[in-house]
Structure 1
């Protein structure tokens, strides 16, 4: 198995910490994590990418230590997408690069590939479909219960609530049966200061204030809300306790209509929200089959 190294790099005016594996000369495979998680979430996939000849890079997302907290306080999807495209530039990516995102990383992947399609050959997103595919079912009663945390994030009590126990509870509800103790510890380490915790919460607050910093990230923000042009594989766990498959796959044709042409959307059996950790062998196989297809 390939060794996983660490490093820091400046992109989009921000210093990012990252994990990396594989040959520096290989095509870039940028792997973006979500909440409440860290770059270590890709620990099963990165060695497989490296073995396939890719230069796998998994940054800690903006505001997640050791990555810096952005001085402008921008956390909307457009900013995350701009980060991904800036990292592509810094790591010398070309048109053969692939983009893989889970949860908030999926939102970033939609925006990045839509805003700069020439940078990416193929895209994989996990656990969060394009926003247009879920709006019709988000306000269903069962989904609103699952999404309570989004509303908590809008309150002044959010940081106080984000204890180890609370985060462990989210993992337990979202990927039932998975032992997330190490991942909870890694996430809490990323929340190195109260400012880092406020940054992670800021992603959710930006959902209700998408016009903030709009001039700087306008093209990426707009791209995130539209089907792009790069073929995308969307994977979702059949036992996802965060965003229920009933909400996502209620209308498969409507889901595909929100993805670029030649895309696919698939359920992964016996997997929760963190499907790449619940079923690493199965998810890795699907991802590698997708990104190696020409």
Structure 2
């Protein structure tokens, strides 16, 4: 990847990779937990070669991205992630873009698509509608669903916070293996990403995120208005392509109709065989083609 750039955006100095022509159709590629911008190491050049302006930021708490003020709450709540993406678009003077992501990054893209549809030309989202319904978060799942969320319950305890802080690289590598059981990533692939977890705010942001989504931790008051809007589970109206990995070890694939009521615009849902949770890194050509499908429809 080309050298990183940094820009002040909202409460952050966001580090990001940019490639492709400055005049190209803008695309934001958003990584998840526990991953980083290398999830798009193959996708970004494909999009750039097709004429897109491609922006791949480190999320809050990852890599070189930093908070500008020590007093800012280290929140990982969904409203903060969406607001960060919107602030980055503003800082880069991008009025409208295709937004693509998975896990936390997909959540950020879904938040912007739902609340500021005029800023989202199209959405690529893994696990479909990725906005949390916090009011219902304490309703039990079936036992297999509860089992897959063990790490979230672990983070609810101070033992979990200490475990993540002490063993962050080993812990996150375990999640990679469990969530993408058919992806044969090697040591070098993981070690390209692992330094992103050394960010001084990583643990605080992660712990707050997994407690807030269950109503167990207060959010940053700065985002209370956004969270109130998200509580209404707003419908996504923009054109969307949604993916599920058939082998996803944390979010099992779901049929299109499971999320149909939360999309009112054109939507194509695809289940990808042989792929787990990290779709863009496991199936980069497929992910890039989905983005280009939306970009092409805008150019037509």
- Bin the TM-score by the shorter chain: 0.7 to 0.9
Q: Is the 8 A contact 1:62 1:68 kept in 2?
A: yes
1:8-47 paired onto structure 2 within 5 Å: 8-47=6-45
Counterpart of 1:106 in structure 2 is 106
Judged with a 3 Å threshold, the aligned counterparts in structure 2 of structure 1 residues 235 and 180 are, in CA distance, closer, same or farther, namely farther
Distance in 1 between residues matched to 2:31 and 2:45, nearest whole Å: 16
Q: CA deviation at 1:122?
A: 0.5
Q: CA deviation at 1:131?
A: 4.4
Which moves more between the two structures, 142-151 or 201-210? Answer: 201-210
Query: What SS is found at the alignment partner of 2:5?
Result: strand
Q: TM-score, normalising length from structure 2?
A: 0.86
Counterpart of 1:124 in structure 2 is 124
CA-based RMSD of the aligned residues comes to: 2.5
Query: What SS is found at the alignment partner of 1:92?
Result: coil
Q: Is the 8 A contact 2:76 2:209 kept in 1?
A: yes
Which moves more between the two structures, 27-36 or 183-192? Answer: 183-192
In the alignment of these two chains, the number of paired residues is 287
Counterpart of 2:240 in structure 1 is 232
Determine if the alignment matches structure 1 residue 218 to structure 2 residue 225: yes
Counterpart of 2:46 in structure 1 is 48
Distance in 2 between residues matched to 1:130 and 1:279, nearest whole Å: 20
Distance in 2 between residues matched to 1:138 and 1:55, nearest whole Å: 43
Counterpart of 1:185 in structure 2 is 191
- Within the candidate set 260, 264, 267, 1:260 is matched to 264
Q: Deviations over 1:31-89 (max 9, x none)?
A: 11111101111111111111122111111001112001472223211111111111111
Judged with a 3 Å threshold, the aligned counterparts in structure 2 of structure 1 residues 47 and 221 are, in CA distance, closer, same or farther, namely farther
Structure 2 unpaired stretches of 5+: none
Structure 1 unpaired stretches of 5+: none
Query: What SS is found at the alignment partner of 1:46?
Result: helix
Distance in 2 between residues matched to 1:186 and 1:160, nearest whole Å: 24
Query: What SS is found at the alignment partner of 2:174?
Result: helix
Judged with a 3 Å threshold, the aligned counterparts in structure 2 of structure 1 residues 120 and 129 are, in CA distance, closer, same or farther, namely closer
Misfit runs of 4+, over 6 Å: 135-138
Distance in 2 between residues matched to 1:203 and 1:216, nearest whole Å: 13
Q: CA deviation at 1:196?
A: 2.5
Judged with a 3 Å threshold, the aligned counterparts in structure 2 of structure 1 residues 195 and 201 are, in CA distance, closer, same or farther, namely same
Judged with a 3 Å threshold, the aligned counterparts in structure 2 of structure 1 residues 139 and 264 are, in CA distance, closer, same or farther, namely same
Which moves more between the two structures, 212-221 or 196-205? Answer: 212-221
Judged with a 3 Å threshold, the aligned counterparts in structure 2 of structure 1 residues 177 and 228 are, in CA distance, closer, same or farther, namely closer
- Within the candidate set 231, 243, 253, 2:251 is matched to 243
Determine if the alignment matches structure 1 residue 161 to structure 2 residue 148: no
Distance in 2 between residues matched to 1:221 and 1:284, nearest whole Å: 33
Counterpart of 2:73 in structure 1 is 72
Q: CA deviation at 1:151?
A: 0.8
Distance in 1 between residues matched to 2:218 and 2:170, nearest whole Å: 33
Judged with a 3 Å threshold, the aligned counterparts in structure 2 of structure 1 residues 223 and 27 are, in CA distance, closer, same or farther, namely farther
Q: Is the 8 A contact 1:152 1:158 kept in 2?
A: yes
Distance in 2 between residues matched to 1:203 and 1:44, nearest whole Å: 28
